[in-house]
Amino acid sequence: MVYDLMRVQVIAHQVQSENEYIITKSPQDYIEHVKDILELYGQFGLEIQEILADDQKVYVRWGQTGQTSKNETIIQSASAVYLIE
């Protein structure tokens, strides 16, 4: 399904703690990323909290919530700016 929803390559301009960088991912890269998250979080909840679009740029902010193997809650908030070409 991910191959039906994504282009062959997605370029994401990401900022974490004022450290901007660019990553390029394929649909397979995203599949592997989700597998890594499942290993860390187990089954997790994902909430899209905000989406803003301006021409070719799309800003997305999301939150993920999961549980460790010790039943501790993990919460991650993140955001990215995607350039649509």
> Which CATH number covers residue 40?
3.10.450.50
In this structure, the chain runs to a length of 85
Q: Which domain holds residue 24?
A: 2-83
| DSSP secondary structure of 13-80 | EEEETTEEEEEEE-HHHHHHHHHHHHHHHSS-EEEEEEEEEETTEEEEEEEEEEE-TTS-EEEEEEEE
In order along its 85 residues, the chain shows pLDDT tens digits of 667 766 777 676 666 666 777 778 888 988 998 898 888 778 889 999 999 999 988 999 999 998 888 888 888 888 888 877 7
For residue 5, the model assigns a pLDDT of 66
Quote the number of domains for the chain.
1
User: How many whole angstroms separate alpha carbon 12 and alpha carbon 83?
Assistant: 6
